Amino acid sequence: MTIETTTTGVLILILIMTLVTLVTRFGGVFIMSFVRINPRIESFINTMASSVLIAIIVPMAFEGDAGALAALSVTAVTMLVLQKPLPAIGAGVFAAAALRYLF
Amino acid sequence: MLPISLFVVAFGAAFGLAAVQKGLAPLDTILMSALVFAGAAQFAAIDMWGAEVSVIPVMVVVFAINSRHLLMGASLYPMLKDVAPAKRYGVLLVLTDANWAVAAQDYQRGNRNLEVILGGGLVLWLAWIVGTWLGVYFGGLLQNPKNLGLDMVLGCFLLAMALGGKKSPRILVAWASAALASLAAWKWLPANTHVVAGALAGGVVGFFWLEKKPGKETAGKTPT
């Protein structure tokens, strides 16, 4: 099925994308409201939460250039040392910019 | 949220530019950003744009890229379950990576921070619309945002959030599984499945390896 990108066609496509995205935004909470929460489920949810972040970042590091790798490593080290997000993010972004400027 | 908003404006400008170059009308582009509010998915959809657009592939790609919202939403359920449905789903309208990451970390420390999801989400939503608008009418803001490292703001932010959380052997094993599973999915599974694969692998570790609670605390109750 295809939709022509006429004025109405584009609007329909935008609405379809909106609905699909809304299903993903609402779906997780909606499904969980039918699940009985026990300690095991709660433990699953909690470890899954920070694992989402890892699963976004690790392929990003492998896919990225040296600048991306530098940004993530510098952020990691700064964060572990200082425990403050803003300096860690700043240092990471600066590292990427500096490395890309130099090489 | 401020550094992230700047990044979102730059990213939005890049999207606005890409969309009009693909033949999307300026107002349609801004409308898409306002309604869909999901950067990576919008870029992917624009990539499939033409005189005719196949509906099912666009739906599949948008769903796959945004499927991480399902897990993010599920992880927020414990803090949303006592909230009235209208408010609960209202807050979720502006759920996105950055505000979710902050809320999830706050919840681990025992704070139920719905305000950061809503307030942060609205700021990011406005930044995304403003960025798109700038890109549509003025082109890309910066010649090459990569030179300034701007493409790494979100990655660094999410990493800082992860590392600012609790780190126990159990969490580290979960992270290692998440890293391996996401890399394997990224390499061998269809595109855009790696976040869900990695997150579920990390969750499975949590499912089988429960945190040892001190005797006095009742299991399963998190402080609010």
Delimit the domains of chain A by residue range.
Answer: 1-35, 39-103
Q: Which residue of B has its CA nearest to A11?
A: B28
Per the CB < 8 A criterion, the answer to whether B170 and A12 are in contact is no
Q: Which token pair is B117?
A: 């999801």
* A51/B177 touch (CB, cutoff 8 Å), yes or no: yes
ipTM of the complex: 0.91
pLDDT band of residue A103 (cuts 50, 70, 90) is: confident
* B161/A49 touch (CB, cutoff 8 Å), yes or no: no
Mutation site for A-interface testing, chosen from B132, B161, B163 by largest number of A Cβ within 10 Å: B163
Per-residue pLDDT at B108? 85
Other CB atoms within a 10 A radius of the CB of residue B214 amount to 5
* C-alpha distances in Å from residue A32, one per residue of A45, B50, B74, B80, B110: 10, 38, 6, 10, 20
Q: Which residues of A touch B43 (CB under 8 A)?
A: none
Closest Cβ opposite residue A25 in set B69, B108, B179: B69
DSSP string, chain B: -HHHHHHHHHHHHHHHHHHHHTT--HHHHHHHHHHH--HHHHHHHHHT-SSEEEHHHHHHHHHHHHTHHHHHHHHHHHHHTTS-HHHHHHHHTT--HHHHHHHHHHHHTT---HHHHHHHHHHHHHHHHHHHHHHHHH--SSS-GGGGTGGGHHHHHHHHHHHHS---HHHHHHHHHHHHHHHHHHHHSPTT-HHHHHHHHHHHHHHHSPPPPPTTSPTTPPP-
Closest Cβ opposite residue A17 in set B45, B89, B95: B45
DSSP string, A36-49: PP-HHHHHHHHHHH
Query: Is the model's pLDDT at B136 over the cut of 70?
Result: yes
Strand A2-4 and strand B52-54: the pairing is antiparallel
pLDDT band of residue B119 (cuts 50, 70, 90) is: very high
What span, in angstroms and rounded, lies between the C-alpha atoms of B38 and B185?
A: 22
What span, in angstroms and rounded, lies between the C-alpha atoms of B40 and B184?
A: 21
pLDDT band of residue B16 (cuts 50, 70, 90) is: very high
For residue B170, the number of C-alpha atoms closer than 13 Å in the C-beta half-sphere is 18
Query: Is the model's pLDDT at B217 over the cut of 50?
Result: no
**Shortest alpha-carbon distance between residue A34 and chain B (Å):** 11
Q: Which residues of B touch A73 (CB under 8 A)?
A: none
Other CB atoms within a 10 A radius of the CB of residue B42 amount to 25
Mutation site for A-interface testing, chosen from B159, B204, B218 by largest number of A Cβ within 10 Å: B159
For chain B, what are the domain ranges? Answer: 2-165, 167-224
Task: Residue B39: name the closest of B123, B97, B89 by CA.
Answer: B97
Q: How far apart are the first and last CA of chain A?
A: 47
* A54/B66 touch (CB, cutoff 8 Å), yes or no: no
Q: Which residues of B touch A26 (CB under 8 A)?
A: 73, 89, 92
Counting residues of chain B whose pLDDT is more than 90, the rounded percentage is: 74
Closest Cβ opposite residue B198 in set A4, A16, A54: A54
Contact B150/A at CB under 8 A = yes
Contact B147/A at CB under 8 A = yes
Those residues with Cβ within 8 angstroms of residue A51's Cβ, 6 or more apart along the chain or in another chain: B174, B175, B177, B178, B198, B199, B201, B202, B203
What span, in angstroms and rounded, lies between the C-alpha atoms of A16 and B62?
A: 10
Identity of residue B163: L
Q: Which residue of A has its CA nearest to B181?
A: A55
Query: Is the model's pLDDT at B140 over the cut of 90?
Result: no
Query: Is the model's pLDDT at B215 over the cut of 70?
Result: no
pLDDT band of residue B198 (cuts 50, 70, 90) is: very high
Those residues with Cβ within 8 angstroms of residue A26's Cβ, 6 or more apart along the chain or in another chain: B73, B89, B92
Those residues with Cβ within 8 angstroms of residue A89's Cβ, 6 or more apart along the chain or in another chain: A75, B3, B153, B156, B157, B160
What span, in angstroms and rounded, lies between the C-alpha atoms of B148 and B143?
A: 10
Mean pLDDT taken over chain B: 90
Q: Which of residues 46-75 of B touch A (CB under 8 A)?
A: 49-56, 58-59, 62-63, 66-75
Per the CB < 8 A criterion, the answer to whether B133 and B19 are in contact is no
